[in-house]
Chains A and B, each alone.
Chain A
């Protein structure tokens, strides 16, 4: 028996149960711990291949009903997602915000991201795309400040527009092919009528909104910066994997068709713009969480560029960079959370934290080197692969931009490290620091993530072995110029 839908059904059921346990803090705590353990096991219980809901299957050569498709590449993405989700849930156990709402929303988010990655049905994808935008706004509302409500409302209003346009795109595709199933639709898209073009471009609008590419990068960065540190770790994981899931579906539908070459240019341009805008805005920030938020946008640009190249190497590099990025950026956001427990996140008011928590400083430094692409950490491996993929399609200028953006990342990260850990401070501040505790669960999660950074950096084939088969299936080898 195939237990594949449990990846989506189990977190949804747990979310409903958690919602009923309002006010029972102790029960919520134990149940959260149990759920976090089970989440890690979920990606391993499904079998590879198609799963058809309610036993419809293939009727007269057409796939009827909702279908899910599972393969090693999707398994690698969902393993990373469940790891980050369970670490964030464990970190959240020590925090006194409305605990059951946090657990409910993050489990719903886990379910919807897995559904977006697994779905082989484009309307199912749209439904979970809408759920994820409500969940992200809800996670931001949890921090309860006025700026959080503003950022969430702005995100939802723009989100409704983008989602309605994406539904219009799905309508166009349904009208021109007569099916909603992605594997079926692929065979009917060979002609290039204007309706298919329209559908493709409107899907790209949805993609840009869901993953924070320009022109939506500002509201997304605002969203990360306004929530608590460990919630931002969850949020940026969601948007990276929305990017991977939707981009894989666009590539699966259109890659290799003659009229996709112009859309390639649009996608690559979006990725490069996100890289440059993100790092330039990050260099200007004086708030640590905002700086990290803009770096999340910038790294999303790397992922989008790699995937948009559409060659097997580009697709592998893109997914691999997404996985690496969620690991080290979650570590950085957890570091920001630990720091903000001491004294806010304004860079000019911090300083001198190195003697108080040397281990945390060392682990955060590892993550900072990983995001700047320094060997032997995991960021180096995937950035190297991305540059290679850009060279392979005869676009060395993209590789050069990637290196320049990496240097900008390194500079702003080291600036933040100096201002937080090394800058000398007076006696009064030191006394204030000693009065406040470090959250131990967050340090544990930070340790696990940093260890993963080093392990993947030393042996990248741990992840890339999963990805090659699917990348060869949907990638097409060609030269863009």
Chain B
């Protein structure tokens, strides 16, 4: 099994674990942790499709551009993952803030209590 295939299998496992955690675990904090795991799985898949056996996609000053383009991995996916990490962090911050507010109100983090529709 080569490196790329192993990354795909790992990311699939992470996505499945994340989906299980979001829908079947009854604790808001654990739900949010599961969301992060799901997001990491997607990020890993995104990086793995750009991997072609090359080096890290950072252009050092003493490497000419055509050599860099031949030797490195696909840099676009890395840029996308950086953007996605920033977005995920901001979502996470807002969700944690709101769950603190709801915890102060109900004194519990059970999803069946503080996410209940009425």
Write the chain B residue with the least CB distance to A123. B80
In-complex Cβ contact of A222 among B22, B49, B87, B117 (8 A): B117
Contact B38 A161 (CB under 8 A): yes
Given contacts A134-B91, A164-B42, A171-B46, whether A149 and B101 have CB atoms under 8 Å apart is yes
In-complex Cβ contact of A146 among B77, B90, B105 (8 A): B105
Give B contacts to A, CB under 8 Å.
15, 18-19, 22, 28, 31-32, 35, 38-39, 42, 45-46, 49, 76-77, 80, 83-84, 87-88, 90-91, 94-95, 98-99, 101-102, 105, 114-118
Contact A130 B42 (CB under 8 A): no
Taken together as a complex, chains A and B put the C-alpha atoms of A147 and B95 apart, in Å, by 15
Give the number of chain A interface residues (Cβ < 8 Å): 30
List B contacts of A133 (CB < 8 A).
Answer: 91
Residue-wise interface mask of A (123-155) relative to B, using a CB-CB cutoff of 8 A (1 in contact, 0 not): 100010011011001100100001101101110
Write the chain B residue with the least CB distance to A179. B76
In-complex Cβ contact of A160 among B35, B46, B80 (8 A): B35
Taken together as a complex, chains A and B put the C-alpha atoms of A454 and B83 apart, in Å, by 45
15 contacts between A and B (CB under 8 A): A127-B83, A130-B87, A137-B94, A137-B98, A150-B114, A152-B98, A153-B28, A153-B98, A153-B114, A153-B115, A154-B115, A156-B98, A160-B35, A174-B46, A222-B117
In-complex Cβ contact of B35 among A141, A161, A175 (8 A): A161
User: Is there a chain B Cβ closer than 8 Å to A168's Cβ?
Assistant: yes
Give A contacts to B, CB under 8 Å.
123, 127, 130-131, 133-134, 137-138, 141, 146-147, 149-150, 152-154, 156-157, 159-161, 164, 167-168, 171, 174-175, 180, 218, 222
CB distance from B110 to the nearest CB of A (A): 13
Taken together as a complex, chains A and B put the C-alpha atoms of A167 and B47 apart, in Å, by 12
Contact B22 A171 (CB under 8 A): no
Taken together as a complex, chains A and B put the C-alpha atoms of A159 and B94 apart, in Å, by 13
Contact A134 B42 (CB under 8 A): no
List B contacts of A150 (CB < 8 A).
Answer: 102, 114-116
List B contacts of A159 (CB < 8 A).
Answer: 91
Contact B19 A171 (CB under 8 A): no
List B contacts of A168 (CB < 8 A).
Answer: 15, 42, 45
Given contacts A134-B90, A141-B98, A150-B102, whether A161 and B22 have CB atoms under 8 Å apart is yes
Taken together as a complex, chains A and B put the C-alpha atoms of A222 and B116 apart, in Å, by 12
Given contacts A150-B102, A174-B77, A180-B76, whether A134 and B49 have CB atoms under 8 Å apart is no
In-complex Cβ contact of B95 among A146, A157, A164 (8 A): A157
List A contacts of B102 (CB < 8 A).
Answer: 146, 149-150, 153
In-complex Cβ contact of A138 among B19, B76, B94 (8 A): B94
Given contacts A153-B115, A161-B22, whether A167 and B38 have CB atoms under 8 Å apart is no
Taken together as a complex, chains A and B put the C-alpha atoms of A152 and B99 apart, in Å, by 10
List A contacts of B114 (CB < 8 A).
Answer: 150, 153
CB distance from B42 to the nearest CB of A (A): 5
Taken together as a complex, chains A and B put the C-alpha atoms of A131 and B83 apart, in Å, by 12
Write the chain A residue with the least CB distance to B90. A134
List A contacts of B99 (CB < 8 A).
Answer: 153
Which 7 A/B pairs are nearest by Cβ-Cβ distance? A175-B49, A160-B35, A130-B87, A153-B98, A171-B46, A164-B38, A164-B42
CB distance from A14 to the nearest CB of B (A): 20
Q: Which residue, A138, A168, A222, has most C-beta atoms of chain B within 10 A?
A: A168
CB distance from A53 to the nearest CB of B (A): 14
List B contacts of A174 (CB < 8 A).
Answer: 46, 49, 77
Contact A157 B87 (CB under 8 A): no
Taken together as a complex, chains A and B put the C-alpha atoms of A69 and B99 apart, in Å, by 40
List B contacts of A171 (CB < 8 A).
Answer: 42, 45-46, 49
Taken together as a complex, chains A and B put the C-alpha atoms of A277 and B31 apart, in Å, by 28
Taken together as a complex, chains A and B put the C-alpha atoms of A295 and B59 apart, in Å, by 54
List A contacts of B91 (CB < 8 A).
Answer: 130, 133-134, 156, 159-160
CB distance from A204 to the nearest CB of B (A): 17
Taken together as a complex, chains A and B put the C-alpha atoms of A141 and B98 apart, in Å, by 9
List B contacts of A164 (CB < 8 A).
Answer: 15, 18, 35, 38-39, 42
List A contacts of B15 (CB < 8 A).
Answer: 164, 168
List B contacts of A222 (CB < 8 A).
Answer: 117
Contact A167 B46 (CB under 8 A): yes
Taken together as a complex, chains A and B put the C-alpha atoms of A175 and B22 apart, in Å, by 27
CB distance from A154 to the nearest CB of B (A): 5
List B contacts of A123 (CB < 8 A).
Answer: 80, 83
Write the chain A residue with the least CB distance to B83. A127
* Given A153-B114, A157-B22: 5 more A-B contacts, CB < 8 Å: A149-B101, A156-B95, A157-B28, A164-B42, A174-B49
Taken together as a complex, chains A and B put the C-alpha atoms of A345 and B114 apart, in Å, by 24
List B contacts of A152 (CB < 8 A).
Answer: 98
Contact A161 B84 (CB under 8 A): no
Q: Which residue, A131, A152, A161, has most C-beta atoms of chain B within 10 A?
A: A161
Write the chain A residue with the least CB distance to B15. A168
Taken together as a complex, chains A and B put the C-alpha atoms of A130 and B11 apart, in Å, by 21
Contact B39 A160 (CB under 8 A): yes
Taken together as a complex, chains A and B put the C-alpha atoms of A156 and B22 apart, in Å, by 12
Taken together as a complex, chains A and B put the C-alpha atoms of A134 and B92 apart, in Å, by 10
List B contacts of A154 (CB < 8 A).
Answer: 115, 117
Write the chain A residue with the least CB distance to B91. A160
